[in-house]
Structure 1
Amino acid sequence: MNTARSGIKIIVCIMVAAMLTMAGCASSSSNVYTYEQTMQAQTVDTGTVESVKSVIIQASNPPVAGGAIGGVTGGVIGSSVGQGHGQGVATIVGALAGAAIGAAIEHEAGTKNGLEIVVNLDSYRTIVVVQEADAPIFPGDRVRVLTAPDGTTRISK
């Protein structure tokens, strides 16, 4: 019985570590560059912020890995409960509950606070950029608009 509990604790720790690892994979921050974005010339425009609106940035991929990891973990934990037919039911219920919890954790980890920033460029164009809310930007601020060769655009002061 003690060995089973130790095994369950190990599996739960692996599940949590895997989901936390997935949480930090992508960024739309004005302060974070991917390796591919370094050492490339970027176009710089300047302008004045017209408006700023708070938004939620959600990961575009459905939460699959968290659900799968949670389902396996829940099934293993459920299989250690009861005996016979009850053990089978506990395994199924544990797998379903684990999948739902794992998917919810992954979904939440993939959600970030963002800003929708409208900028009136000095070239008399108006653009909108959505990025993480990692730097304070307010209407009236003078900003730089950095556009990478791949079209990625970010606002910085």
Structure 2
Amino acid sequence: MRTLTLTLALLATVNLVGCASGLGGGDYERTETRRVMSVRMGVIESVRPVKLEGTNTPLGTVAGAAIGGVAGSTVGSGKGAAIAAVVGAVAGGIAGAAAEEGFTRKQGVEVTLKMDNGELLAIVQEDGGENFKPGERVRLLQDGRNTRVSR
């Protein structure tokens, strides 16, 4: 039974990492389809790498707590096992939350644009391998909620 619980918790954590949504210029949510987007043109002034923080949902904490609780319960017997299970669950929950954030962290880019009207804008998005270069002419797409840089 303990092995089954541990396996399910690990599968839940792995599944969470696989569900992380993209934040790049070419990544769209399903709800963004069939929306009108304004398009403005500009030239890239600069590009710099940034880190995008990972997700922080209850799933990482719960999965870590389950794994830690099961592992802790195998230590000792009687009250000692119960105490170890609680300590393991708390430590596992903290570790699970940290692991989720670390596994879902992404590399991003900050792109500074000089728009055709002279306005300077900076947009941060996930690095999708576009390799934007200063001096390159690009599109800025906006729909009122999201903004992205693309070719």
Q: Match for residue 32 of structure 2?
A: 37
| 3-state SS in 2 of match to 1:144 | strand
Alignment of 1:75-94 (within 5 A): 75-94=69-88
Query: What per-residue deviation string (whole Å, max 9, x for no partner) do you get for residues 97-137 of structure 1?
Result: 21122111111123111011100011221111100011211
Query: What per-residue deviation string (whole Å, max 9, x for no partner) do you get for residues 28-83 of structure 1?
Result: 11111111111112111111100111111114x64432112211221122223321
Whether 1:49 aligns to 2:44 is: yes
Give me the whole-angstrom Cα distance separating, in 2, the residues matched to 1:151 and 1:85: 54
Whether 1:117 aligns to 2:117 is: no
Give me the whole-angstrom Cα distance separating, in 1, the residues matched to 2:11 and 2:117: 48
RMSD (CA atoms): 1.8
Q: TM-score, normalised by structure 2?
A: 0.88
Whether 1:72 aligns to 2:72 is: no
Give me the whole-angstrom Cα distance separating, in 1, the residues matched to 2:41 and 2:15: 36
Give yes or no for contact 1:19–1:105 (8 Å, CA) kept in 2.
no
Q: Give 1:129's aligned amino acid.
A: I
Give me the whole-angstrom Cα distance separating, in 1, the residues matched to 2:25 and 2:15: 21
Runs of at least 5 residues in structure 1 that lack an aligned partner in the other structure: 1-6
Q: TM-score, normalised by structure 1?
A: 0.85
Give me the whole-angstrom Cα distance separating, in 1, the residues matched to 2:141 and 2:7: 41
Alignment of 1:1-157 (within 5 A): 7-23=1-17, 24-59=19-54, 62-134=56-128, 135-148=130-143, 150-157=144-151
Give me the whole-angstrom Cα distance separating, in 1, the residues matched to 2:3 and 2:117: 60
Aligned length: 149
Taking a change above 3 Å as real, the CA distance of residues 128 and 39 of structure 1, as seen in their structure-2 partners, is: same
Give yes or no for contact 2:13–2:100 (8 Å, CA) kept in 1.
yes
| Structure 1 residue runs of 4 or more that deviate by more than 6 Å after TM superposition | none
Runs of at least 5 residues in structure 2 that lack an aligned partner in the other structure: none
Taking a change above 3 Å as real, the CA distance of residues 155 and 64 of structure 1, as seen in their structure-2 partners, is: same
| 3-state SS in 2 of match to 1:50 | strand
